[in-house]
Structures are given as C-alpha cells and as structure tokens.
C-alpha cells in the first residue's frame, strides 16, 4: 500500500486554535493548536492521561472547551455533538460504543441520520419520498458494509460481532454520516498484528476516498506507517508536531515516554562506592542481629 | 384405541430423540407411551360422567354424557395430551403436531390436565364439604390424569443433557424434561394454505380469549388459566408456535388483518354486555400500554406517570362532551373531541417533557412519577374551593353522554347481521379502531429513521448524539407522540366509563389502567413489540377482574409473578425481533471464525481500486 504524502495544495479541514479544557483546577488540555488538511492522516500520540481523548471530545462538541475555538473548513463549530457531526466530523470511540442490540445494518443506518430528512409525519403517512429515501439509505449503508467487509453480517446483532469487527463497524457507522474528517480514537486497541495491518489498509482506503483522518494511537509502528504528520500531547500540552521520523527521534518525546536519563549517569567509581556502602550496611545489621 | 402400532416405528421415534438422558421414571418406552395414551383417554372418558351430585357447585357437573364447566377444560387438555402422545407413535397425519419436541409437549399437556382436574376435585370437595361429594366420574378423570402424568414422565427426554451439566440432579432432570429442540424449517406450502393456517391460528386464539373473558365464576377461570398456561407451553415446545410465527412473519399484512378480523368478531361472540365491557376496557388498557411502549420500549425513557396523559385526554373529552356537569358546556362532535383530547395530551406532554427530558435514567423516572401525581392532585383541587372550578374536584365529571357518529348512537344496542351489538360492543369496536391507529403509528414510526434514532438513544445516548442525532429533540418527540396516543385512548375512555374522576388516574391501584400496571404490561408483554403490550395488558386486566376473591393479595401475587418472570424470561412474553436474533445468533458464535481477515482485505481492495 502506498504511503506517499499528499500534494501540498491541500486545504485546511480542521483548525483548532488555543483549545484549553479545564475541569475545576485540573487543566486537561492546555492551549493546543492543530490543523488537519484534506487528504492527510494525522496522528495524535502521547502517554496515558495526556489529554488526547479530552481533546477529541472538545473537537466533537461533547465537551465545551474552556478556551479556544474549533473550525471546520473555515466555519467555527457549535459545541453540540450532533451539529458537529452534521457539519462533517465523525468519530469513533476508544471503548467501543455501538448500539449493541441493533443489527449491523441498523447501526450504519443510524449513522445516516444527519444525511436524511424524513421526519415523523413522513414515516407515519408514508409520504412519497419516504420509501425512496429508505432504500437509498439502505443501499448506501450496504455499500459501506461492503467497504469495511461486514456485508455478510448485516443482519447480525452488533453485540455478537467479534471485537475486531466491532471496531470496523464503528468506522462504517462513522463513515455513514459522510464526513470530511474522521476522528479515530485508538482504532487498533486490543488487536493482534494481523488485524492491525488490516486496520491500516482500511484507513488508507478511507484517506483515498478523500476523507482526512485524525487518529489517536499507542502503537508507534502503526502511527509511523500510517501518518503524514504526528502531534505529541504530553500532560495536556502539544510538545512536538512534525513528520513521523522527526517526532520519533525527538528527545522530548522519548523523555515523555521513557523518562529522562538520570542526571549524569552513574560512573564506575560511584557504583563501587554504593556497593561498598551497601556491603558495610549489611555487615552492621548482621552484627546487630548477633 | 390405536395403541398397537408396529414396533419398528416406536423404536424409530426413540432413535430420533437419541436419548442418553434417561427418563425420570424408568419405564420401557412402549409401556410409558401406552400408559400416557390410556391415562389421557381415561381422563377424557371421565369428563362425560358426572363429577358431583349437586348443582350447587357452579357449572353443573352432574350431567352424564354432556361435559360442562371445568369438565370441558379437562376434556380439551386430555384431547391435546392424547393427540401429542399419538403423534409420538409416528401416526400418519399427526406428525405436523410435533415438529419440535416430541415428548415434552405430552408431559406439559398431561400436567395441565392433572392440574385442572386436581384443582376441580379439590374445589368441589372444599366447597361442598368433603371428598364424599365427588362422583366416580371425577375419580376416573383424576386417576386418568395421574396415570397420564406418570406415563409422560417415563417417556424419553427430547434432547440430551447439555455439555456443561451432563448429570443433573432430580430437579435439573425434571426441568430438562420440559425442554425441547427447535423445530426445523417448515417446507413451503401454497400461500393460500399458509394464509388459512394463519386464519385458523387466530381463530383459535380468539376462541380461547373469548372463552377466558366469558368465564362466569372464578373456579372456571382458574381452571382456564391452568389449562391455557400448560397448553400454551406444550404447543410452544411442540414447535407449533414457532411455525406459526414464521408464517405470520412471512405474511405480515395478512396476519395483522387476520388479527383485527378476529378482534372485530369478538363482540359478536359475547351475549353478555358485561363481558363486552371487559373487552372494551382491555382495549383501552392495551392501547395506552402500546403508547407507553413508544416511550419506554423504543426511546428507553422510563415514564412512571404515563397514566396522566390518559387522564388529560379523558378530561379534555369530558369537558367538551356536553355533559351537564362540564364547566365549559360545549358539545363537540366526536372527531373534534378526539382531536382536542389528543392535542391537550400533546401539549401537556411537551410542557412536562421539555424540562424533564434533560434528565437521564432514574432521575427522569422520579420526576415523571411526580408529575403523574401532580396531575391527579391538581384535578382534585380544581373544584371551586381550593382553585377555580374546572373539574368538580373529586366528584369528577359525570353524566358524559353517549357518542353519536354519523347518526349511529353508540349508547343503544344495534342489530348487526342478526346479532345484537350492545353498547359495550359498540364502544369496543370504536376502541378497536383507536387500537388499530396506534398499532399503525407504532409500527410505522418504529421502522423509520425516527424509530432507529429512538432505539439508538435507548442503547447509548452519547454515541447517538455523536452520530448526529439531536437527543433532546427526539426524546421530546417520543414523549409527545406517546402522550397524544394516550390522549386519543382517553377520549374514548371518558365515554365508555360515563364519568371521569381523579381517582382513575393513580400511580398504583387495584384497577388498571394505572401507571404501574401500564409499565408492567409493557415489561411483561415484551418491550419494543406490538403484540407484547397487548397480551400483557389483556392478562393484567383479566386476572384481577376474574379473581375478585384474591383482591387483597392482588398486588402481592402480582409482584411475585413479575419477579418470577424477570428471573426466567426477562425479555417478556413476546420477544423483540432483536432479542430473537440474539438467541438465534448465540448458536452461531460457537462456530470458529475462520475468515475474518480475507473478507476485510477483499473489502478494502475493492474500495481502494
């Protein structure tokens, strides 16, 4: 699969400026700026608790950011999840949130909600447009199930799908709202390497459909393969942003993940000193025992 | 009797049931079956003899050669047992009776006969004072039933024990002997035959229902409950119900039409106005329960004050009915009254829903409970003393005149096709029209974009809003729709019951409909289904109405029944299509997942190309 970076003549899809989210005294996200352009796959990484999911929630209207604004294709988004989805941003969840007791097809049809208009009266009176709209929705949903490879399971309950397929279904459901930007929150969590490979392919295919992708992930190899650009969030702040290779070798990133090396690594003499001190301490305690 | 069938056939049936599981009573198979057949035949013969010497016991069981009252129930049960038992012999023409389980239906039916006969014998000797009051006929039937049960317990079990519990104890074995495998797919019949079968099925259903409503004394009703409960389970285990529901799913519109035709026929089967009134009241209760099912079953909003919407509709209709006690004193034609009632409920629903629907879960339940009570108390207080005189306080609005639609006075009996249709019969048919409307509204809204959004909100509200669903607006829509459906039923209820008083619209009371019973009807029947609340409401109305003697313990028994149901059948009597899928698929999960990856890969390749 190709990993070529896209043409530089791309326009900005997402433009988050100065997004800050405070919960009381805790600042979960501090002054984060991030842009995503069309045809781009951008990665968002960071240690646990860095505020990645909180940032996602700010983008999608689940949280109202304390400061800052989020614009989609030039218009500032209102802080209501359904309006954000309507504008063209779709998302998946870190802990899978499917409609467990609905069928696979119905799940995707729910995703079509904002792109269809048939109201209650239309449904009750079976107005002329109703049947056509339903059929169109179904056809579109089946297309997406085909795309994600779930078409054979359209009539199964979402809860009965195996884990990897539930992840795929979440993506299909998000795609049903015809987004311009797809936010994926840890799409490969809990997957084996093969499944992760398949997920990669799927995300490339989504990119090829002209949908920009912003993805949170812990699997560094996955991010490196996938992303044109990577942003690193540590303790709510964006510390680096750039191409994957640059970010990977950035020492601040290494520090965030592995910790900083001890100030002046212990030399030979110091080690010997410590050893001697320990031996002495041991002998004295033994002496006390006697 | 045709007990002498070739031996190879009997061994054949044993082979079908591949029984490593031994029967509870170790009898040779042939002997057990012969015993069952003989026992049920004996019970059958017994019903033609006198059971007692005096007609002081209701139903007159003294006549020889003509079964009456409880004897009829034993007769029906014994016939069912006999047929199921004979079907196990592989007799040509009876095989269709048991596509699923072969022997557990026999046992269940035999238990039903034993139960009802034993109950009848007990009731006779208790009411008349001693076993001496039993005539030989009762003993013949009773002993026959006992023999049939013993024989049925000796029949091999229908399916081998489960892998997780290969050697159950006695109780486990008894429970296991009542289970049965699912029937295989039926072969396709010509569609007119299938439609005839559906019609026959609904005909039987109508007859059983009408019989239950028409039971004139509580002994008969208890016997009826025993026989129907066991008989129904037996028919289910035999796989007949599964076959029928497969047919109704195939011809949905035909099945619905058949159900309504059967329902229309009901008042013509009743000569007694009182029983037709029960029918009308059941329909009111069932319609409101179905309206509540939109709110609870689809959108997942627990509404504990739903009966208030029925009350709003009824009060609105009463005020514009032209009753001399109405404070408005106008008389609207029926269609306008219906619109007024539904609109008043709709407005009330929106007014209550707009502030409360921002709450979730338990909080919403508490607030709706409060609003339900506020409605009742307000109606009580608008009496001219503690408030403006609108509703006459606790006296309510009496003397609501009968409806007249197109010159057809619903208050007077009419002669239709040679049968007299009483006042209650008229209202029953009017109410049936309302029920049909509500069923249609439920079905159409559930199968639309709006209905899917409701279910999505029920499943996971956060995910639903992230899919672009305006949660608050759709919840309000569900609330308002449910309210106006209840208001619609309320307008008819006001006329059926002549008067409306605040006390009719409580949270919990002994007479349905009230909020607690409405919710119970939905849960007991099956959330999110159409037939569920209808069946649940019918049961919840009939049982208290017919068993007056246990009025004191009614709520206690009701609570116990609800707990047992939640333990053993949490999805309700009628399972949702989605729940059925769930059961259907648990079997599939065991199949190893062989090719999820290639599937995904091809899908992507196709999309990428």
pLDDT digits (tens, 9 = 90+) for A93-104: 989 999 988 999
Task: Kindly report the nearest CA distance between residue A281 and chain B, in angstroms.
Answer: 60
Q: How confident is the model at residue B601 (pLDDT cuts 50, 70, 90)?
A: very low
pLDDT score recorded for residue B244: 83
pLDDT score recorded for residue A106: 93
The answer for A 214-273 residues in CB contact with B (under 8 A) is none
Interchain CB contact of A67 with B (< 8 Å) = no
**Residue B322 CA neighbour count, 13 Å, CB half:** 10
Interchain CB contact of A91 with B (< 8 Å) = yes
pLDDT score recorded for residue B7: 40
The tokens describing B41, both together, are: 């035949």
Task: Kindly report the nearest CA distance between residue B245 and chain A, in angstroms.
Answer: 19
Of A99, A123, A152, the CB nearest to B445: A123
Q: How confident is the model at residue A176 (pLDDT cuts 50, 70, 90)?
A: very high
Q: Which one has a higher pLDDT value, B510 or B163? A: B510
Using a 10 angstrom Cβ sphere, with 0-12 exposed, 13-18 middle and 19 or more buried, the burial of residue A150 is buried
pLDDT higher than threshold 80 for residue B280: yes
Secondary structure of B164-181 in the HEC alphabet? Answer: CCCCCCHHHHHHHHCCCC
Distance, CA of A158 to CA of A176 (rounded, Å) = 16
Return the number of other C-beta atoms located less than 10 Å from residue B323's C-beta. Answer: 22
Subunit contact A113:B468, Cβ cutoff 8 A: yes
Contacts of B597 in chain A (CB under 8 A): 194-195, 198
Q: How confident is the model at residue B486 (pLDDT cuts 50, 70, 90)?
A: very high
Q: Which one has a higher pLDDT value, B162 or A278? A: A278
The ipTM estimated for the assembled molecules is: 0.84
Maximum pairwise Cα distance, chain A: 99
Subunit contact B597:A101, Cβ cutoff 8 A: no
Closest by Cα among B483, B449, B438, B561 to B301: B483
pLDDT score recorded for residue B53: 79
Of B586, B589, B601, the CB nearest to A198: B601
Instruction: Phi first, then psi: give them for residue B51, nearest 5 degrees.
Output: -100, -25
Alpha-carbon dihedral A209, A213, A217, A222, rounded to 10 degrees: 40
Q: Which one has a higher pLDDT value, B275 or A65? A: A65
Q: Which one has a higher pLDDT value, A245 or A145? A: A145
Mutant choice from A56, A101, A188 vs B, greatest count of B C-beta within 10 A: A101
Question: Per-residue pLDDT averaged across A59-87, rounded?
Answer: 90
Q: Are B362 and B299 in contact (CB under 8 A)?
A: no
Q: Which one has a higher pLDDT value, A137 or B94? A: A137
- Beginning with the edge strand found earlier in the chain, give each strand of the sheet holding A67-72 in spatial order: A26-37, A12-23, A67-72, A75-76
Question: Per-residue pLDDT averaged across B195-200, rounded?
Answer: 85
* H or E element in which residue A78 lies: none
Q: Are B308 and B484 in contact (CB under 8 A)?
A: no
Task: Kindly report the nearest CA distance between residue B153 and chain A, in angstroms.
Answer: 38
pLDDT score recorded for residue A6: 43
Using a 10 angstrom Cβ sphere, with 0-12 exposed, 13-18 middle and 19 or more buried, the burial of residue A17 is middle
Task: Kindly report the nearest CA distance between residue B204 and chain A, in angstroms.
Answer: 32
**pTM of this prediction?**
0.80
Which residues sit opposite A27 in a β-bridge? A22
Task: Kindly report the nearest CA distance between residue A40 and chain B, in angstroms.
Answer: 16
pLDDT score recorded for residue A266: 61
Domains contained in chain A, CATH given: 1-88+179-261 (3.40.50.300), 99-178 (no CATH)
3-state secondary structure of B486: helix
Considering only alpha carbons, which residue of chain A is nearest residue B609? A205
What is the per-residue pLDDT across B403-453, written as a single tens digit (0 to 9) for each? 877 777 777 777 777 777 888 888 899 999 999 999 999 999 998 999 999
What is the per-residue pLDDT across B199-248, written as a single tens digit (0 to 9) for each? 888 888 888 888 888 787 888 888 888 888 888 888 888 888 888 888 88
What is the per-residue pLDDT across B524-571, written as a single tens digit (0 to 9) for each? 888 888 888 998 898 888 887 777 777 777 778 878 888 888 887 777
pLDDT higher than threshold 50 for residue B511: yes
Average pLDDT of every residue of chain A: 86
Opening angle at CA A22, ends A20 and A26, nearest 5: 125
Distance, CA of A162 to CA of A172 (rounded, Å) = 15
pLDDT higher than threshold 80 for residue B17: no
Distance, CA of B51 to CA of B127 (rounded, Å) = 14
Q: Which one has a higher pLDDT value, A261 or B372? A: B372
Subunit contact A126:B444, Cβ cutoff 8 A: yes
- The owner of tokens 């009731």 is B123
Q: For residues A132-149, b (16+ Cβ closer than 10 Å) or e, as one string?
A: ebbeebeebbbebbbbbb
Sorted by sequence, the CB contacts under 8 Å of residue A70 that are 6+ apart come out as A14, A15, A16, A17, A19, A58, A59, A76, A77
The answer for A 123-152 residues in CB contact with B (under 8 A) is 123-124, 126, 130, 133-134, 137, 146-152
pLDDT score recorded for residue A179: 93
Return the number of other C-beta atoms located less than 10 Å from residue A239's C-beta. Answer: 17
| Domain range summary for chain B, segments of one domain joined by + | 24-159+181-245, 270-583
Q: Which one has a higher pLDDT value, A260 or A92? A: A92
pLDDT score recorded for residue B580: 58
Question: Per-residue pLDDT averaged across A44-71, rounded?
Answer: 90
pLDDT score recorded for residue B484: 93
The tokens describing A242, both together, are: 């750039």
Q: Which one has a higher pLDDT value, A255 or B480? A: B480
- How far CA A5 is from CA of A2, B238, B520, in Å, comes to 9, 65, 61
Q: How confident is the model at residue A263 (pLDDT cuts 50, 70, 90)?
A: low
Interface A-B: count of C-beta contacts within 8 A: 164
- How far CA A284 is from CA of A276, B461, B595, in Å, comes to 12, 66, 67
């Amino acid at each position: 699969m190709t990993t070529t970076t896209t043409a530089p003549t791309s326009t900005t899809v997402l433009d988050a400026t100065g997004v800050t989210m405070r919960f009381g005294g805790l600042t979960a996200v501090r002054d984060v700026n991030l842009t995503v352009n069309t045809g781009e796959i951008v990665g968002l990484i960071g240690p646990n608790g860095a505020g990645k999911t909180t940032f996602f929630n700010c983008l999608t209207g689940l949280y109202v950011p304390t400061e800052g604004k989020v614009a989609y294709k030039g218009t500032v988004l209102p802080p209501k999840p359904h309006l954000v989805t309507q504008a063209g941003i779709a998302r998946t969840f870190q802990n899978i949130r499917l409609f467990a007791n609905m069928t696979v097809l119905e799940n995707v049809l729910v995703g079509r909600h904002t792109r269809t208009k048939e109201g209650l009266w239309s449904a009750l009176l079976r107005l002329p447009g109703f049947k056509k709209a339903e059929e169109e929705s179904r056809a579109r949903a089946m297309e997406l199930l085909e795309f994600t490879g779930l078409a054979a399971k359209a009539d199964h309950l979402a809860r009965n799908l195996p884990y990897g397929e539930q992840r795929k279904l979440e993506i299909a459901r998000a795609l049903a709202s015809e987004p311009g930007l797809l936010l994926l929150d840890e799409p490969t969590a809990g997957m084996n390497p093969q499944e992760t490979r398949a997920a990669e392919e799927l995300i490339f295919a989504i990119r090829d459909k002209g949908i920009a992708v912003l993805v949170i992930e812990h699997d560094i190899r996955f991010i490196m393969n996938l992303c044109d650009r990577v942003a690193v969030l540590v303790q709510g702040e964006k510390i680096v942003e750039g191409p994957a290779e640059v970010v990977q070798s950035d020492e601040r990133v290494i520090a965030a993940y592995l910790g900083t090396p001890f100030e002046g690594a212990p030399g030979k003499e110091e080690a010997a000193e410590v050893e001697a001190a320990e031996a002495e301490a041991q002998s004295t305690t033994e002496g006390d025992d006697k | 009797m045709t007990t002498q069938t070739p031996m190879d056939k009997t061994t054949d049936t044993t082979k079908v049931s591949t029984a490593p599981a031994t029967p509870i009573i170790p009898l040779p198979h042939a002997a057990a079956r012969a015993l069952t057949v003989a026992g049920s035949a004996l019970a059958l013969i017994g019903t033609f003899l006198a059971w007692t010497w005096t007609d002081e016991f209701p139903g007159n069981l003294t006549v020889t050669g003509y079964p009456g009252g409880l004897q009829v129930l034993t007769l029906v049960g014994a016939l069912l047992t006999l047929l199921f038992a004979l079907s196990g012999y592989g007799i040509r023409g009876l095989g269709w009776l048991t596509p699923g389980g072969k022997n557990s239906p026999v046992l269940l039916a035999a238990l039903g006969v034993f139960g009802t006969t034993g109950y009848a014998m007990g009731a006779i000797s208790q009411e008349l004072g001693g076993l001496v009051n039993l005539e030989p006929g009762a003993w013949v039937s009773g002993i026959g039933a006992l023999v049939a049960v013993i024989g049925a317990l000796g029949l091999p079990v229908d399916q081998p024990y489960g892998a997780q519990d290969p050697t159950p104890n006695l109780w486990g074995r008894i429970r296991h002997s009542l289970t049965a495998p699912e029937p295989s797919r039926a072969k396709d019949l010509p569609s007119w035959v299938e439609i005839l079968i559906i019609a026959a099925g609904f005909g039987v259903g109508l007859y059983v229902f009408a019989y239950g409503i028409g039971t004139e004394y509580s002994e008969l009703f208890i016997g009826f409950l025993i026989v129907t409960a066991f008989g129904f389970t037996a028919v289910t285990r035999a796989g007949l119900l599964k076959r029928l529901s497969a047919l109704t799913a195939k011809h949905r519109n035909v099945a619905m039409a058949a159900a309504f035709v059967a329902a229309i026929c009901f008042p013509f089967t009743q000569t007694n106005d009182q029983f037709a009134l029960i029918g009308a009241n059941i329909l009111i209760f069932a319609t409101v329960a179905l309206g509540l099912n939109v709110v609870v079953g689809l959108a997942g909003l627990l509404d504990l004050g739903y009966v208030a919407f029925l009350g709003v509709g009824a009060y609105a209709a009463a005020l514009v009915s032209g009753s001399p006690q109405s404070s408005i004193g106008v008389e609207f034609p029926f269609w306008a009254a219906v619109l007024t009632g539904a609109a008043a409920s709709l407005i009330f629903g929106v007014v209550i829903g707009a502030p409360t629907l921002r709450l979730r879960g338990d909080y919403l339940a508490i607030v709706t409970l409060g609003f339900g009570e506020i409605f009742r108390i307000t109606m009580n207080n608008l009496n001219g003393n503690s408030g403006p005189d609108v509703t006459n306080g606790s006296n309510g609005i009496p003397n609501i005149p009968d409806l007249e639609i197109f010159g057809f006075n619903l208050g007077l009996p009419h002669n239709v096709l040679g049968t007299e249709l009483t006042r209650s019969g008229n209202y029953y048919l009017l109410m049936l029209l309302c029920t049909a409307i509500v069923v249609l509204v439920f079905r159409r809204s559930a199968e639309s974009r709006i209905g899917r959004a409701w279910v999505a909100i029920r499943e996971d509200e956060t995910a639903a809003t992230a899919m672009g669903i305006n949660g608050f607006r759709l919840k309000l829509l569900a609330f308002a729709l449910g309210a106006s459906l209840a208001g619609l039923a309320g307008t008819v209820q006001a006329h059926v019951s002549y008067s409306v008083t605040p006390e009719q619209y409580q949270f919990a009371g002994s007479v349905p409909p009230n909020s607690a019973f409405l919710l119970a009807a939905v849960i007991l029947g099956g959330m999110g289904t159409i037939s569920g609340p209808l069946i649940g409401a019918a049961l919840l109305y009939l049982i208290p109405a017919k068993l007056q003697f246990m009025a004191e313990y009614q709520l206690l028994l009701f609570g116990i029944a609800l707990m047992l149901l939640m333990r053993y059948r949490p999805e309700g009597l009628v399972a949702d299509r989605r729940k059925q899928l769930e059961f259907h698929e648990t079997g599939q999960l065991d199949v190893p997942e062989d090719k999820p990856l290639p599937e995904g890969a091809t899908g992507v390749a196709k999309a990428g190309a």
